[in-house]
Structure 1
Amino acid sequence: MPAPYPLLDMPPGDIKNTHEFTAMHMAAAHNTFIQGINAIVAHAPTVPPNKIQPFLIFCLTVLDNIHHHHHIEETYFFPELEKKLGEGALSRNYEEHADFVPQLDELQVYLKTVQEEEEKYDGMVLLEKIHSFSDSMMLHLSHEIPTLEANRLKAVFTEKELKDIDAKVLSIALKTIDFYKAIPLGLVCSNPATPWFPPLPLPVKLAARWWYSRRYSEAWEFGPLDLYGKPREVSVKA
């Protein structure tokens, strides 16, 4: 089995500095996706039969979160930044989505087919489909961070403008996610080195741990962390 994909290094800066926070926030978000993909790869060959359905929920939620992230980027975040950075300033970020999203979609179709029991689960098939796009996706996740470099943003955006954009992104995200899936996944796929991410109000984090996580509790066992940020063992018991 290939080694896990390494998490992205955090850009230099201070999360309290608005211009530096943008790239740091993006890197932290990308690391949750890497954590999720690594967890899928680690568990795919050895999922117990009675855990296949929860595992499929975990996998599909990872993919849904990646799609959701890209949708907000393409429909609001990048266009908003390009109003001042200049049209096409972030075009590479859009273009690279096309390098892996079609294969990601193919994996999503496969997982749903297995979930509906129209096809038998095969961990090797799952791994093959992940490896058909994962290298391209990991490159994209790393390429995107420098496009949000602090000095580039500081040259054209005030702190208030960036804070307003960030607040709008969070508002859009919270209005368009499934709280019973996206928020628990964000907790179990976070990075212990960045405990401030996901940047959710404490009441929402508590609700995720005590309420939202319950509906699909078996799915979150596949995350690299528990709901309190403590690393798990890779194995999931039958």
Structure 2
Amino acid sequence: MSSSEPPMYTDTPLALIPTPKFETGKDDPFTIEASHMALSHNAFIRGFNTIYQQAPRVHKPADKIDFVSYCLAWVDCVATHHHYEETELFPNIDKAAGQKGLMDGAVHEHEAFTGGLEKFKKYLVSKDADFVAAELIAIMDEFKEPLHSHLKSEPPAILALAKYDTKDTPIDILGIANAAGKKQVNLSFMLNTLPVFFLNMETVEFEGGMWHEVFPPLKGAARTVMNKVVPMWHSGRWRFVSCSADGRRKRLAV
């Protein structure tokens, strides 16, 4: 590597989450949905790590403006994901199972780091390009453990729902999750936020490439549009992601 080239992205300080399918080889609906959840959470983890690794390296005013926009997109993506869980996914799981509060543990975990996310966002909005890397990282250090703990614990919680799936109370977990996920996406979210999710999805090497072109479930033109065309909008902010459009780990932007 040339001394002028930025280093490769690495999965630090937060470690990635293995998928239940990779660990067990099972492919029942609850294992698949729990695995999809783990993959989604890994995109959030890589987003966190890219911010953590690059904040001290961003110095030029123009770079800092783009970087702040990237950070805010990451916050919006994480917050939107947890909002749709609490308003769509979890209530519909309860409805199918005929019980209430099956995912209350996850809701309480959300509460443990929501304040930290809000503090992170307020700091970036108030400071903008004048942010101080050490101050930003200090805020991230305040919520990284409860965030990571939740991201690790939710896939097993989805797996555990299988015991409520009976002949009398069938739970179409994949259908419920798919319907809930669609409700969080609109044009503004797709253009301004969603690339932080898709472009932090390393699939070529992770778990031997078993999820490459499998998750996210986009094929052909749809995948090209989401990974290559949409990121042309606000391209400056998306250069801080961890992966290329084809799902390969890349060098940091700075």
Larger deviation: 145-154 or 122-131? 145-154
Residue 197 of structure 1 aligns with which residue? 215
- Mapped pair 1:221 → 2:239: yes
Q: Give the one of 161, 169, 173 matched to 1:162.
A: 173
Give distance in 1, aligned partners of 2:202 and 2:98.
30
Amino acid at match of 2:73: T
- Mapped pair 1:74 → 2:86: yes
Q: Call closer, same or farther: CA 1:14–1:188 in 2, change over 3 Å.
A: same
Report SS of the residue matched to 1:31: helix
- Mapped pair 1:6 → 2:15: yes
Give distance in 1, aligned partners of 2:141 and 2:192.
24
Give distance in 2, aligned partners of 1:226 and 1:153.
40
CA shift digits 1:161-206 (9 cap, x unpaired)? 3343133123212237521133322222113223333233543321
Residue 64 of structure 1 aligns with which residue? 76
Q: Call closer, same or farther: CA 1:181–1:165 in 2, change over 3 Å.
A: same
Q: Give the one of 99, 106, 111 matched to 1:93.
A: 106
Give distance in 1, aligned partners of 2:181 and 2:12.
33
- Mapped pair 1:113 → 2:126: yes
Contact 2:44 2:197 in 1 (8 A): no
Contact 1:107 1:126 in 2 (8 A): yes
Contact 2:84 2:181 in 1 (8 A): no
Give distance in 2, aligned partners of 1:61 and 1:140.
20
Q: Give the one of 118, 141, 158 matched to 2:151.
A: 141
Gaps of 5+ in 1: none
Larger deviation: 12-21 or 94-103? 12-21
Amino acid at match of 2:251: E
Give distance in 2, aligned partners of 1:225 and 1:152.
37
Report SS of the residue matched to 2:181: helix
Tell me the TM-score normalized by structure 2: 0.82
CA shift digits 1:57-111 (9 cap, x unpaired)? 1111111010000010000101111120621221111111111101110110111
Give distance in 2, aligned partners of 1:3 and 1:204.
31
Q: Give the one of 129, 136, 141 matched to 2:139.
A: 129
Residue 54 of structure 1 aligns with which residue? 66
Contact 2:47 2:74 in 1 (8 A): yes
Larger deviation: 198-207 or 91-100? 198-207
Residue 36 of structure 2 aligns with which residue? 25
Larger deviation: 18-27 or 127-136? 18-27
Q: Call closer, same or farther: CA 1:209–1:141 in 2, change over 3 Å.
A: closer
Tell me the TM-score normalized by structure 1: 0.87
Amino acid at match of 2:135: V
Amino acid at match of 2:80: H
Give distance in 2, aligned partners of 1:93 and 1:177.
27
RMSD after superposition? 2.3
Number of aligned positions between the proteins: 231
CA shift digits 1:96-127 (9 cap, x unpaired)? 11111011101101111223x6xx22111110
Give distance in 2, aligned partners of 1:15 and 1:32.
23
Larger deviation: 129-138 or 143-152? 143-152
Q: Call closer, same or farther: CA 1:167–1:144 in 2, change over 3 Å.
A: closer
CA shift digits 1:122-178 (9 cap, x unpaired)? 11111001111011110011111111116335446647x334313312321223752
